[in-house]
Structure 1
Amino acid sequence: MSHRGKFSVLVAVVLVLAVVATVSVLRASARADRRDQARPDGPRVTTGEVGLGPGARRMVFRNMAWGPHRDELASTAASAPAGTRTATAGGLTCLRFHAASGTGVCLQAVHGALTDTYRATVVDARLHEGAHYPVPGIPSRARVSPSGRYAAWTAFVGGDSYAGTDFSTRTAILDTRTGKLTPSLEVYGIVKDGRRYRSADVNFWGVTFERDDRHFYATLATGRKTYLVRGDMPTRTVTVLHQNVECPSLSPDGTRIVYKKRVAGLPADAPWRLYALDLRTMRETALAESRSVDDQAVWSDDRHVTYALPGDFGADLYTVPADGRGTPHELVKAAVSPVYL
């Protein structure tokens, strides 16, 4: 046989093997999806419509249950969050998500041939995608202001965990009405102890908005310490209010912040406990959750907060009263990044 003939046979064999391998992988994936959907302990997901518009009170979250809708946005009734969840066929896939007043922000991975990139996508009440904005690292936190006008997101641009000190973040704020983007809060002036503060090691993360479309709260890290700051968008300044605050979440009535606080004596990789801070008195209250929570909690109402903890499917959602009383309990399996609409 000629060299050309031998080469043709070799190419044909390689192609046949590639097709067989591809078919095997696809069949195994389909079997796995069917098996995971049939797991008796797994959440049930049906296909339907998911939106952010007015209607009965409900939760929207990133679905972590295995199957064709994993990582897509799903919805359940807020009154029965552990019930059957609904996901849209070919729905929106997000790593982090938040929404308010019919506007959402979805932090997404864009899968490339060699590496992934990330972006923030603004969506409307029907989850139709609008403008896209590049995110310069691994998405971590997302928030939309109560009016829907502003969106904020945080990404790791160095490191991938808040537990240590060797990381850097980038936090952006977007005016969804005008499209004006502040790519980094590090351009804001800092007021600490009544004086302007400057340092090369400044990091911001975990924005939460007030209702006035002017002010926000966030975490500032500098000098190996973290602080709660209140930001003013028109003046582009933040003012330090309180120490040892991470990932703040403002209550619906605007009077309290729930956050994760580093507590001495806890393991280095699980150093946090949930606390509530009264913004008028600056009095702290430890919540009843005794496990380490690495999440930016959301308020389900004026009295309770919801947050994620590791679970069999990746993460589960729990709830606890925000006044330090009661006990935490599991709310939803296989879910993360919840929003109450």
Structure 2
Amino acid sequence: MTYWNPQYKTLDHWRGIAALWVMLFHGFGTTFDKSLHPLVEIIKSIAAPGWLGVHIFFVISGYCITASVYKLILKGGSSWAFLQTRILRLMPTYWIAFLLTLSLNIISSPFNKVNLADAIPSSWEIWFGNLFLIQPYLNVPFYVVVYWSLVVEIGFYLIVATLLIIRNKISQNLSLFLGLFLAFMAIFMPHDSKLGWIRYWSEFVCGSLVFTALFAKHKNHTYHQNLSITLIMILGATGAWIHLIHDQNQLWFSSIFAIIIYLLYGFDNIINSINLINWLKYFGLISYSLYLLHVPFQGRVVNLGTRFIPVDSIMILVLQVLGWAVAITISIIFFKLVEKPLNNWRYQQRIAKL
């Protein structure tokens, strides 16, 4: 197999956009049904669809995980090695962020007129569910609202690991067929938090198909390249149809984003060299830390400020900016002290096994 470097540098920029968009959305979370100052309304209109940032992450995850599996196959790695790498990437950072959020809630409870007991998970099921990201299966609430997408992400890893076993033990074609079959079946899945990792699999596959299209292009396999793009469009069209009927499907958006990053791949080095947007790349680098921590820290600032600032005041914009600044600052510190050292440790562990 001729090696192809699947690195896509500007996906970090897109991660930054997604993380910031989600942060904007949550900043206005309690005011979407209220009339704000006209200038603030402009910012709120940009923030309103910010929940779509999560779906950008799903597509990027599809591309990056497929690229990771491609490299793993070249090295003769196992599905267990894949799972080990992904879980070590996700969970230790998450656990520390969870404990930090718990500490913040305990410390701030007297100032928020909240009983200390309400700031702490009230049962072992809630503790267990949130520590191991299995909340839907224990019917317990997410300690922080954004944790739901991490449950979905772990589900993606389990599907990929299963498909990798099938590929290694039986047939690569069967593995690919089952992955695509599940993607089309997932479009029609009902809304159920227990099945979210299957429901959103179609969006993950859109990112995976971007990888296969670019790989086929590298190999001059025009048929497979066109097939991959056609499948993205079919998934998107089917998702749009479901969305029009039920208004509950974002696959149309994910497929459009997948086509965009496919088309922009040829300009990857050019875009990556634009210094004016390097800040987006940095936000992409810290996007996991920002995603984990923006709600508790930004939320504290906004909730405290709205006690004293009228909702229709222009000062709400200043309050929002302050919330963003606090969330970003905490996330940068967390990235430098926690996430980055853990990533370095994970890399050293992997090197030691070679």
Task: Check whether TM > 0.5.
Answer: no
| Structure-2-length-normalised TM-score | 0.25
Larger radius of gyration: 1
Larger helix share, 1 or 2: 2
Higher relative contact order (CA 8 A, sep 6+): 2
Larger strand share, 1 or 2: 1
